[in-house]
């Protein structure tokens, strides 16, 4: 016989730390549902996210390089899966709820626009007099409103804890989203883990793609980035001379491992020092408890600055993204004049949410390739 939901909830009580978020303590869903026979609330959240249309679209959205630039380069979907994997590793080590952290990680980029952060900035500028656009808030909007899966309500009806994690999700790339109904000093430790796992994944795997595309130079990295130099030296001492591909993989694998180890050790100390005894005590704590050490934070800032200068704003990456963003701007202007040409679900929200917001929803939900196809179809 399968394990029942109540058995799984009991297992959480027996195995997770007292400051973890237990699924049996969930604040529930906006719309009441009969609990599942053998899945916890957070497991159901994860499954709903994976089966959503917004999740499938991530396969064709830019991470750093425009979608289609190379078969081995990361997309927004592969990035999301990597964030989920690192989130599970950290939460397992700290005795937290893996299912909740995974659900938040899988949903954290659902609201991302086509063409990465440059697309996000373009939509925010187009919406500056109409409420703006920010992908974290859009992720929440997708799971609460835009996904249409159920006969009697909008959205995916996710648990309060998963939606809290999306409302408060931000990394070094982002600014926090605030919602009155998620008003607390901090989010759950599981949500904090997903935040930091996103950052770990960004920097380490962007290094990988930058080297694979030959936009980054290993010798230049050694000269200018301490964390790369130290990690490369460890690999050299352990394995001697390696060919470029296995050497890069070994360095980045060790870099991720050292980042995770630093977060686990530092966070464990901070949690003990804070003397929190429940998930709600974590929420009342003044500041995040999932953190890097001070030394690692400084090293990561050096790496971040290097990536901005040498990868994110490299003309080979930057200029195609700028041209792609122009397509978004032209489509936005066209739909303002011809609102009948946006999708039927978006049209239905014009009266309740305004024409600008309906167009923004429609455009932000597009994949990179669909923007190009639609632009060409309209002859803009």
Inform me whether the pLDDT recorded for 46 exceeds 80.
Answer: yes
Give mean pLDDT, residues 144-168. 93
Is 140 within 8 Å of 171 (Cβ atoms)? no
Length of the chain: 380
Lowest mean pLDDT across 16-25, 51-60, 160-169, 335-344: 160-169
Inform me whether the pLDDT recorded for 379 exceeds 80.
Answer: yes
Of 84, 99, 86, 82, the closest CA to residue 260 belongs to 86
- At 272, the pLDDT band (50, 70, 90 cuts) reads very high
| pLDDT value of residue 213 | 83
Give mean pLDDT, residues 292-308. 94
Write the CB contacts of 6 (distance below 8 Å, at least 6 apart in sequence).
none
Give mean pLDDT, residues 157-172. 83
Instruction: Measure CA 63 to chain center.
Output: 11
| pLDDT value of residue 203 | 86
Burial class, 203, CB count within 10 angstroms (exposed 0-12 / middle 13-18 / buried 19+): buried
170: three-class secondary structure by DSSP: coil
DSSP letter for 29, please. Answer: B
> 205-235 pLDDT, tens per residue?
889 888 888 889 999 999 999 999 999 999 9
| pLDDT value of residue 1 | 72
> 63-110 pLDDT, tens per residue?
765 555 545 567 899 999 999 999 999 999 999 999 999 999 999 999
Of 157, 127, 103, 168, the closest CA to residue 336 belongs to 127
Query: Each residue of 80-89: b (16+ CB within 10 Å) or e?
Result: bebbbebbbb
| pLDDT value of residue 285 | 92
Burial class, 158, CB count within 10 angstroms (exposed 0-12 / middle 13-18 / buried 19+): buried
Domains and CATH numbers, the chain: 40-378 (1.10.3210.10)
Q: 183 phi and psi, to 5 degrees? A: -85, 100
Alpha helices in the chain (DSSP H): 5-15, 41-50, 53-57, 76-94, 98-107, 116-126, 135-141, 160-167, 189-212, 218-224, 226-239, 244-274, 279-284, 294-307, 315-337, 344-347, 350-353, 355-364, 368-378
- At 167, the pLDDT band (50, 70, 90 cuts) reads confident
| pLDDT value of residue 9 | 95
Q: C-alpha angle 94/10/274, rounded to 5°?
A: 35
Higher pLDDT, 167 or 89: 89
Is 17 within 8 Å of 2 (Cβ atoms)? no
103: three-class secondary structure by DSSP: helix
Which residues are paired to 295 by β-bridges?
none
Highest mean pLDDT of the ranges 46-50, 56-60, 240-244:
46-50
| pLDDT value of residue 65 | 54
185: three-class secondary structure by DSSP: coil
């Amino acid at each position: 016989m399968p394990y029942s939901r109540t058995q799984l909830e009991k297992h959480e009580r027996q195995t997770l730390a007292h400051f973890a978020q237990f699924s049996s303590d969930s604040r529930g869903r906006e719309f009441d549902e009969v609990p599942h026979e053998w899945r916890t609330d957070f497991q159901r959240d994860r499954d709903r996210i994976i089966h959503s249309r917004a999740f499938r679209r991530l396969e064709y959205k830019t991470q750093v390089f425009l979608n289609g630039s190379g078969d081995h380069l990361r997309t927004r979907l592969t990035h999301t899966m990597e964030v989920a994997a690192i989130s599970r590793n950290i939460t397992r080590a700290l005795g937290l709820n893996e299912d909740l952290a995974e659900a938040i990680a899988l949903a954290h980029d659902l609201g991302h626009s086509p063409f990465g952060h440059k697309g996000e900035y373009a939509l925010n500028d187009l919406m500056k007099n109409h409420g703006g656009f920010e992908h974290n808030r859009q992720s929440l909007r997708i799971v609460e409103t835009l996904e249409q899966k159920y006969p009697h309500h909008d959205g995916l009806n996710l648990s309060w804890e998963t939606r809290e994690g999306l409302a408060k999700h931000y990394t070094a790339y982002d600014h926090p989203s605030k919602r009155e109904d998620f008003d607390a000093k901090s989010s759950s430790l599981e949500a904090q883990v997903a935040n930091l796992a996103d950052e770990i994944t960004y920097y380490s795997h962007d290094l990988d793609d930058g080297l694979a595309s030959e936009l980054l130079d290993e010798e230049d990295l050694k000269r200018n980035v301490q964390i790369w130099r130290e990690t490369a030296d460890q690999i050299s001492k352990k394995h001697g001379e390696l060919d470029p591909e296995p050497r890069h993989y070994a360095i980045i694998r060790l870099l991720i491992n050292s980042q995770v180890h630093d977060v686990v050790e530092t966070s464990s100390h901070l949690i003990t020092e804070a003397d929190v005894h429940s998930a709600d005590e974590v929420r009342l704590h003044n500041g995040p408890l999932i953190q890097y050490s001070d030394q690692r934070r400084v090293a990561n800032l050096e790496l971040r600055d290097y990536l901005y200068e040498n990868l994110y704003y490299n003309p080979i990456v930057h200029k195609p993204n700028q041209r792609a963003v122009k397509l978004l701007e032209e489509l936005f202007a066209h739909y303002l004049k011809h609102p009948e040409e946006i999708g039927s679900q978006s049209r239905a929200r014009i009266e309740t949410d305004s024409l600008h917001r309906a167009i923004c929803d429609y455009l932000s939900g597009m994949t990179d390739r669909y923007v190009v196809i639609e632009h060409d179809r309209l002859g803009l």
